[in-house]
Amino acid sequence: MAACTAPAAKAALLTLLDARTGLNGVQVVWTFPGDKAERQYLCFGDTELNEVAGQLGNGTRHESYTINVWVSVHWPSNDPQDAEERAWAIVAELEAQLKPPNNADLGIAGANGIKSLTAQFAGGTLATYPELEGQTAQGSFRVAVEARI
pLDDT tens profile 10-35: 999 999 999 999 999 999 999 999 99
**Which pLDDT value is given to residue 2?**
57
95: nearest Cα among 62, 71, 64, 129? 71
Torsion of CA 120, 52, 48, 2, to 10 degrees: -90
Q: Is 134 exposed, middle or buried (0-12, 13-18, 19+ CB in 10 A)?
A: middle
Give CA separation, 115 vs 5, 34, 43, 139, 143, in Å.
11, 36, 26, 32, 19
The yes-or-no verdict on residue 92 having pLDDT over 80 is yes
What single-letter amino acid sits at 35?
D
Lowest mean pLDDT among 14-18, 126-130, 145-149: 145-149
Report residue 103: phi and psi, to 5°: -85, 0
